[in-house]
Amino acid sequence: MPENEKGTLLKADQVKVHFKGKNQRSGTVKAVDGVSLDIRRGETFGVVGESGCGKSTLGRTLIRLIDPTDGHIYLEGEDISRLKGAGLKEMRRKLQIIFQDPSACLNPRRTVRQILMEPFEIHGMDKGKDAEERIMELLQLVGLDAYHLSRYPHELSGGQKQRIGIARALALKPDLIVCDEAVSALDVSVQAQVLNLLQELKEKLGLTYFFISHNLNVVYQVSDRVGVMYLGKMVEVADYDQLYEKRYHPYTEALLSAIPQVNQEDQKERIHLEGEVPSPTDPPSGCRFHTRCPKACERCRTEEPALREIAPGHQVACHLYDA
């Protein structure tokens, strides 16, 4: 790995995920269409974008729950894009996910003990007393206790279910966890508790997060760096504070203008984007955002802007900032 990438835990290089439609007329869905990024060990890399922009598909592809159509994914310098069989299973231990809806991803017929035992059974690890001890340790880490072991998911609150989802993701001591809209289904007060818990766990266990949300406000609260996605492409990437200070891409500007500010004088004028997000089956030519961009010009309709660094650590894909 090159010298400047020593801190990189996971790297994506021109990753594409295209899904074939059910028949010829439905075409090919270009859910992720050439995304490159690096996730540094110990950071939270937040990804934000509207529903359907490809952020969840990207997150699941980075941990190989979905196969990339093209491009490469490197974990600690090793190309994991085409791993299969035992190699893929071993790698999965290091890469885990917390899903949006804890009710949908916990088996309703299994107790908390059985749910937390599953990762050990699948990977043939920590049986018997060792596993019991590890399960108790996991419960404590997420703020629950032995009382919950014999409970079924329907006996738990939404926040408790998500804590079980987090405990299960932690079971195999992963390096990277994809948090896929992990707090979106929770009440606002529970959201804050779960975000605090994720932050505590990150510090205590040295975790790295790829944190996906449609809500820029939530992403801002937890992220060290933020990537903004639009229609399968990354359009802006920067440190949290850089992006807060200065956004360059018109799409990021529009997302930020929708966040309510505590101080009225900090409130930006709301930028309303016209129209729907175009179909990823037939994305617009040139800059994919041109059909909704208030600053689009003729060039934007024909020429695709590259994601380029316009300030140290700050990348933008927009012709307005071409040198």
Question: Which positions touch ligand SF4 (CB under 6 A)?
Answer: 249-250, 287, 289-290, 293, 295-296, 300, 305, 318-320
- Give the pairing of strands 176-180 and 95-98: parallel
What are phi and psi for residue 87, nearest 5 degrees?
-65, -40
227 forms beta bridges with 47, 237
For residues 196 and 302, which CB has a smaller minimum distance to ligand SF4 in the complex? 302
Smallest distance, Å, CB 249 to ligand SF4? 6
Smallest distance, Å, CB 48 to ligand SF4? 16
For residues 32 and 307, which CB has a smaller minimum distance to ligand SF4 in the complex? 307
Query: Where do runs of H (alpha helix) occur along the chain?
Result: 55-62, 85-94, 102-105, 112-123, 128-141, 158-170, 188-205, 216-222, 240-245, 250-257, 298-302
Smallest distance, Å, CB 288 to ligand SF4? 8
For residues 209 and 230, which CB has a smaller minimum distance to ligand SF4 in the complex? 230
For residues 186 and 300, which CB has a smaller minimum distance to ligand SF4 in the complex? 300
For residues 45 and 289, which CB has a smaller minimum distance to ligand SF4 in the complex? 289
95 forms beta bridges with 176
Smallest distance, Å, CB 313 to ligand SF4? 20
Smallest distance, Å, CB 302 to ligand SF4? 11
Sheet with 314-316, strands from edge to edge, namely 95-98, 176-180, 208-213, 44-48, 225-230, 233-239, 314-316, 308-311
Smallest distance, Å, CB 73 to ligand SF4? 27
Smallest distance, Å, CB 258 to ligand SF4? 17
What gap in Å lies between CA 1 and CA 271, rounded to an integer? 42
3-state SS class at 129? helix
For residues 171 and 243, which CB has a smaller minimum distance to ligand SF4 in the complex? 243
What gap in Å lies between CA 275 and CA 123, rounded to an integer? 47
- Which tokens go with 319? 């012709």
For residues 178 and 293, which CB has a smaller minimum distance to ligand SF4 in the complex? 293
Q: Let me know: does 37 contact 12? Beta carbons within 8 Å.
A: yes
